[in-house]
């Protein structure tokens, strides 16, 4: 996050605010434990050497304990629970600086008989100034202000001690020494902040592709990386996929250009949108696509368990709509799976399904050249159609419908159609085994028409499946409603989802973002979604070697 002349807040206000709150949360946690260690060390020291304990040590303990309690309240009770305005975050930052100096200044003043007390408390102030500089990077000016606020109380204590007690050095030298240490530390901290600020500016200037400024890397793979970015004028969040110059080869570039070419032809609401494509002066190829703040269907089941029948029908109908357009253009996806379908909100409409990752698409009119043959071995075993394994030349729109049937099965039951110890086991079952009807799984009750539609999609022969994506959508719309999912329930669900997501962003905990990139093993991963920490009531594990 790049600081501006005001401090940290840049053009992307909410993201900058959340980043600042996350940094202050980290600072609070580190200060809390540092104070506890300090208090524990004092208790241990005075227990072992009681003769050096200051007469007013109980007052020092009281002040330190109050400081720990205040830190705990701000950290656990405020920063982790509420979204604070930037002005309040600035106020907390300044309060920490002044309060830290006040605590250590009071500790030094209350222990005049312990000559080392002033020096020890000065060292702790130095430590806190440097800690704040590292954890909460900001402009040099702001660092100078907070550093000065930290040292004012400790310098006041030094002046009071020099005037009221006899020290081993003259009073002027005693105070001057503390002032010199304070000045040096403030200058070092300010210089460090300015260096960080300058480096961040250079990085920001370098991380530009056309009209897009890259904010942060959100994924990386065998030949490229994906960044969250924003347009210079529009400011809307965007996902940028790029290939680094050193990764560019004939096959890589051809596949990359095929991917953006196919995706740019598709304009349906339920297909991820492509905004732009280009190459910068450094030879970096990139394309800009829609940034989806939602959850993929894989994580939806992992976190929230099997889904309501009416919700599953709605999702499948939307995917059918996206596939209908793709098939009409002569394009088959080849890798329909839960991780490649993102559920999000668009235009205040909940539960909008977006089909992503067209990196493995095949054009029906394309001759079977070497590239196409190479692509045939790619896919995800848990969702691959039998003909893709036995006779890849028969792969067509029905193969996508088979995979969509596997997705519906997974959403309804929380389990995959076939599971095995290895990927080979799973593939063999897709070719030879008969799937268990979804209703035979414990706790699964669905309309017979829906089960029949799912099992029709899972037919071994492409000719026995629905004639098209549109035909499958007709079957799904004919299923009687179960009334187990409504628009009001969806709106409430998404309100909770975004509330949890904002908390995760504010605390900078385990939030990650996964994107459409190719891993080193050549398989694609989902992209352009925010993936929240797992741990819900899902009945399956993330796909591993045995199921991918």
Q: What is the DSSP string of 141-155?
A: HHHHHHHHHHHHHHH
Query: H helices within 247-336, ranges in order?
Result: 250-265, 297-304, 309-328
Closest by CA to 327, choosing from 404, 402, 398, is 398
Q: What is the mean pLDDT of the chain?
A: 80
Averaged pLDDT, 261-283? 81
Q: Is 0.75 topped by the overall pTM? A: no
Instruction: Report how far residue 108's alpha carbon sits from residue 57's, in angstroms, rounded to the nearest whole number.
Output: 11
pLDDT at residue 545 is higher than 80: no
Q: Are strands 237-243 and 362-363 parallel, antiparallel or unpaired?
A: unpaired
Catalytic machinery residues: 335
Closest by CA to 438, choosing from 407, 458, 412, is 412
- The angle that helices 309-328 and 469-477 make with each other, rounded to 10 degrees, is 160
Q: Tokens for 7?
A: 């401090």
pLDDT at residue 279 is higher than 80: no
CA dist list (Å): 21 to 29, 194, 215: 12, 21, 18
User: For the stretch 401-431, what's the b/e string if a residue is b when 16 or more beta carbons lie within 10 angstroms of its beta carbon?
Assistant: bbbbbbbbbbbbbbbbbbebeebeebbebbe
pLDDT at residue 222 is higher than 60: no
Q: Tokens for 388?
A: 């893709």
Averaged pLDDT, 305-334? 94
Q: pLDDT at position 327, please?
A: 93
CA dist list (Å): 273 to 229, 279, 513, 525: 15, 19, 18, 18
Averaged pLDDT, 403-417? 96
pLDDT at residue 367 is higher than 60: no
Who has greater pLDDT, 516 or 403? 403
Closest by CA to 128, choosing from 51, 218, 189, 192, is 189
Q: Is 63 exposed, middle or buried (0-12, 13-18, 19+ CB in 10 A)?
A: middle
Q: Which residues neighbour 130 within 8 Å (Cβ) at sequence distance 6 or greater?
A: 185, 188, 189
CATH class entry, domain 209-290? alpha beta
- For the chain, the 3-state helix, strand and coil shares in percent, each to the nearest 5, are 55, 10, 30
Is 295-531 a domain of CATH 3.40.640.10? no
Provide the residue ranges of all domains of the chain, joining segments of one domain with +.
Answer: 13-206, 209-290, 295-531
Q: Tokens for 425?
A: 């086991």
The dihedral sign for the CA sequence 143, 148, 151, 152: negative
pLDDT tens for 82-135 read 989 889 999 999 999 999 999 999 999 998 888 788 888 999 999 999 999 888
Q: In the block, which residue shows the tokens 């009209």?
A: 211
Please give the DSSP secondary-structure letter assigned to residue 306: S
Instruction: Report how far residue 380's alpha carbon sits from residue 175's, in angstroms, rounded to the nearest whole number.
Output: 71
Closest by CA to 239, choosing from 218, 258, 253, is 218
Q: Are 286 and 277 in contact (CB under 8 A)?
A: yes
Q: In the block, which residue shows the tokens 């600035």?
A: 90
pLDDT at residue 4 is higher than 50: no
Please state the three-class secondary structure of 263-276 as a single string. HHHCCCCCECCEEE
Averaged pLDDT, 31-47? 87
Q: pLDDT at position 200, please?
A: 57
């Amino acid at each position: 996050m790049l600081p501006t002349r005001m401090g940290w807040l840049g053009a992307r206000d909410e993201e900058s605010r959340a980043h600042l709150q996350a940094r202050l949360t980290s600072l609070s946690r580190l200060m809390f434990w540092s104070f506890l260690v300090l208090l524990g060390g004092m208790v241990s020291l005075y227990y072992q050497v009681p003769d050096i304990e200051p007469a007013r040590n109980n007052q020092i303990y009281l002040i330190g304990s109050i400081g720990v309690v205040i830190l705990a309240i701000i950290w656990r009770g405020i920063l982790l629970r509420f979204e604070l305005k930037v002005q309040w975050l600035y106020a907390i930052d300044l309060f920490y600086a002044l309060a830290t100096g006040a605590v250590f200044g009071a500790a030094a003043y209350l222990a005049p008989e312990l000559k080392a007390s002033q020096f020890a408390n000065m060292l702790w102030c130095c430590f806190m100034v440097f800690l704040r500089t590292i954890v909460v990077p900001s402009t040099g000016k702001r660092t100078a202000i907070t550093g000065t606020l930290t040292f004012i109380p400790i310098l006041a204590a030094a002046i009071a001690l020099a005037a009221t007690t006899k020290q081993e050095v003259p009073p002027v030298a005693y105070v001057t020494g503390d002032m010199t240490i304070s000045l040096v530390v403030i200058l070092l901290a300010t210089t460090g902040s300015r260096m960080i600020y300058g480096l961040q500016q250079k990085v920001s200037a370098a991380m530009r592709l056309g009209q897009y400024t890259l904010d942060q890397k959100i994924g990386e793979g065998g030949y490229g990386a994906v960044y969250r970015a924003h347009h210079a004028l529009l400011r809307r969040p965007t996902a940028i996929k790029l290939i680094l110059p050193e990764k560019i080869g004939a096959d890589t570039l051809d596949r990359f250009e095929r991917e953006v070419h196919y995706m740019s032809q598709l304009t349906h609401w339920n297909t991820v949108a492509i905004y732009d494509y280009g190459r910068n002066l450094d030879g970096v190829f990139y394309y800009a696509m829609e940034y989806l703040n939602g959850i993929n269907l894989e994580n939806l089941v992992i976190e929230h368990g099997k889904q309501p029948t009416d919700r599953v029908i709605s999702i499948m109908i939307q995917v059918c709509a996206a596939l209908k357009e793709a098939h009409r253009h002569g394009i088959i996806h080849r890798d329909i799976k839960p991780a490649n379908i993102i559920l999000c909100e668009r235009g205040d409409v909940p539960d909008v399904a977006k089909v992503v990752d067209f990196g493995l698409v095949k054009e029906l009119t394309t001759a079977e050249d070497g590239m196409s043959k190479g692509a045939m071995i790619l896919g995800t075993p848990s969702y691959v159609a039998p003909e893709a394994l036995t006779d890849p030349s028969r792969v067509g729109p029905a193969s996508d419908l088979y995979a969509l049937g596997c997705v519906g099965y997974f959403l309804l039951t929380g389990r995959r159609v076939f599971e095995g110890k290895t990927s080979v086991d799973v593939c063999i079952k897709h070719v030879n085994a008969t799937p268990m009807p979804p209703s035979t799984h414990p706790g699964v009750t669905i309309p017979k028409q829906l089960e029949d539609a799912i099992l029709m999609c899972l037919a071994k022969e492409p000719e026995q499946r629905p004639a098209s994506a549109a035909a499958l959508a007709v079957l799904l719309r004919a299923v009687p409603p179960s009334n187990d999912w409504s628009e009001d329930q969806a709106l409430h669900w998404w309100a909770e989802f975004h509330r949890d997501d904002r908390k995760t962003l504010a605390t900078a905990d385990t939030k990650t973002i996964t994107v459409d990139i190719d891993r080193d093993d050549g398989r694609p991963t989902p992209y352009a979604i925010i993936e929240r920490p797992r741990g819900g009531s899902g009945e399956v594990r993330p796909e591993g070697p045995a199921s991918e």
